[in-house]
């Protein structure tokens, strides 16, 4: 398709399962040019896992791309596990993978939840980060989470009404807690319908149709991991990521933001850019949240290109 900015379909050069401790085994793949500039791709969610389409964001002649499914997600095991699964654990996993793969330093490329994880890692290990591409910024604040769950952003109001009506009126003041109680319940007859309603609300915001069936195990794992992280404020202190920008000012960075993003609204990315004016601001007019939509994907590929040039040049 002429409007498709993505690179051709490809298979991983290497794919493996790697044990990172506490019973977690991560699915990890290395793609594109094994002798190229290393880039770590951080998927969204939390809980989503990676997809083959995301390999197509990387120039196969230029980048050594590492993609992996975070704890409890996708092809990692145990699927849906929230034990020993916090932001600190995930940051430690990234550093373990970097060392185990023999990569001295890498560019971090993360969207949505992946942007949060990229910032958290970079602020602890800035010496290992060559550059950053952040798309659809999420900082994990209580305000962001509440606006999303309680429908305060005003996006997809009809879908939000359907989402809220799944919960009795007395619990609608804290829909996150109400959904977490159900989704994390041991009884599948309680957990599965709640997870379906939760995932359908997100799908409506993304412009996707509702699920045709109850969630499959991978979708259920995504909902479980999301509940775990969101109910714990993403295991971050208030304002932690904005305060930590001081450690990143010297690193080439791009903030790519769809200006019609209903999931991670532009004002969040704008607050990051105000704190970090050295980062290049890349607004994408009329674009939503999807990282593989043509306008957002094109902006991310271009940003990754010039961040890479800044690293090697």
Annotate 126-159 with three-state secondary structure.
Answer: HHHEEEEEEECCCCCCHHHHHHHHCCCCCCCHHH
CA distances from 192 to 74, 134, 230, 286 (A): 18, 32, 18, 34
Task: Round to whole Å and give the CA distance between 42 and 49.
Answer: 9
Q: Which of 145-154, 214-223, 226-235 has the lowest mean pLDDT?
A: 145-154
User: In the structure, what pLDDT confidence band is assigned to residue 3 with cuts at 50, 70 and 90?
Assistant: confident
What integer pLDDT is reported at residue 2 of this predicted model? Answer: 54
Is pLDDT above 80 for 304? Answer: yes
Note the pTM of the prediction, 2 decimals. 0.97
Task: Round to whole Å and give the CA distance between 140 and 146.
Answer: 10
Q: What is the mean pLDDT of residues 100-119?
A: 98
Residue among 112, 115, 141, 153 flagged as catalytic: 112
Residue among 43, 64, 261, 273 flagged as catalytic: 261
Q: What is the mean pLDDT of residues 186-212?
A: 97
What integer pLDDT is reported at residue 1 of this predicted model? Answer: 44
Q: What is the mean pLDDT of residues 161-188?
A: 97
CATH T-level fold of 14-140+236-312: Rossmann fold (3.40.50)
What integer pLDDT is reported at residue 210 of this predicted model? Answer: 96
Domain boundaries, the chain: 14-140+236-312, 142-233
**66-82, pLDDT tens digit by residue?**
999 999 999 999 999 99
* Average model confidence (pLDDT) across the chain: 97
CA distances from 85 to 24, 29, 68 (A): 9, 21, 15
Under a CB-based contact definition with an 8 Å cutoff, are residues 296 and 135 in contact? Answer: yes
Catalytic site includes residue 4 = no
What integer pLDDT is reported at residue 153 of this predicted model? Answer: 81
Contacting residues for 278 by C-beta, under 8 A, at least 6 apart? 249, 253
Catalytic site includes residue 233 = no
User: In the structure, what pLDDT confidence band is assigned to residue 312 with cuts at 50, 70 and 90?
Assistant: confident
Is pLDDT above 90 for 234? Answer: yes
Q: What is the mean pLDDT of residues 52-60?
A: 97
CA distances from 200 to 165, 167, 205 (A): 13, 14, 9
Q: What percent of the chain has pLDDT over 90?
A: 96
Under a CB-based contact definition with an 8 Å cutoff, are residues 301 and 39 in contact? Answer: no
Q: What is the mean pLDDT of residues 190-194?
A: 98
Catalytic site includes residue 10 = no
Task: Round to whole Å and give the CA distance between 214 and 156.
Answer: 22
User: In the structure, what pLDDT confidence band is assigned to residue 295 with cuts at 50, 70 and 90?
Assistant: very high
Please report the sign of the dihedral spanned by the C-alpha atoms of residue 233, residue 164, residue 46, residue 249.
negative
Task: Round to whole Å and give the CA distance between 217 and 82.
Answer: 14
Burial category of 64 from C-beta neighbours within 10 Å (exposed 0-12, middle 13-18, buried 19 and up): buried
Peptide bond into 78 cis (omega under 30): yes
Under a CB-based contact definition with an 8 Å cutoff, are residues 204 and 210 in contact? Answer: yes
With CA atoms as reference, report the closest residue to 228 among 203, 198, 206.
198
């Amino acid at each position: 398709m002429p409007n498709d900015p993505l690179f051709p379909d490809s298979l991983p050069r290497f794919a493996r399962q790697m044990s990172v401790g506490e019973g977690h085994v991560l699915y990890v793949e290395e793609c594109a040019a094994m002798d190229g500039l290393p880039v770590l791709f951080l998927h969204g969610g939390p809980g989503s896992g990676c997809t083959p389409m995301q390999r197509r964001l990387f120039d196969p002649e230029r980048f050594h791309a590492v993609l992996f499914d975070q704890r409890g997600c996708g092809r990692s095991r145990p699927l849906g596990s929230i034990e020993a699964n916090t932001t600190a654990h995930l940051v430690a996993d990234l550093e373990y993978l970097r060392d185990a793969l023999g990569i001295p330093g890498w560019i971090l490329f993360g969207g949505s939840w992946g942007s949060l994880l990229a910032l958290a890692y970079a602020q602890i290990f800035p010496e290992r980060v060559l550059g950053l591409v952040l798309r659809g910024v999420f900082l994990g604040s209580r305000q962001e989470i509440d606006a999303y769950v309680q429908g305060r952003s005003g996006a997809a109001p009809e879908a939000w009404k359907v989402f809220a009506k799944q919960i009795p009126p007395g619990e609608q003041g804290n829909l996150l807690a109400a959904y977490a109680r159900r989704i994390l319940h041991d009884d599948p007859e309680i957990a599965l319908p709640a997870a379906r309603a939760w995932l359908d609300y997100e799908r409506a915001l993304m412009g996707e149709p509702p699920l045709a069936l109850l969630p499959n195990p991978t979708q259920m794992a995504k909902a479980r991991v999301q509940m775990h992280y969101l109910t714990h404020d993403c295991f971050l202190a208030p304002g932690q990521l904005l305060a930590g920008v001081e450690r990143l000012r010297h690193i080439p960075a791009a903030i790519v933001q769809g200006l019609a993003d209903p999931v991670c609204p532009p004002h969040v990315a704008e607050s990051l850019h105000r704190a970090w004016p050295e980062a290049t601001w890349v607004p994408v007019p009329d674009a939503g949240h999807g990282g593989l939509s043509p306008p957002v994907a094109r902006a991310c590929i271009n940003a990754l290109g010039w961040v890479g040039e800044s690293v090697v040049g």
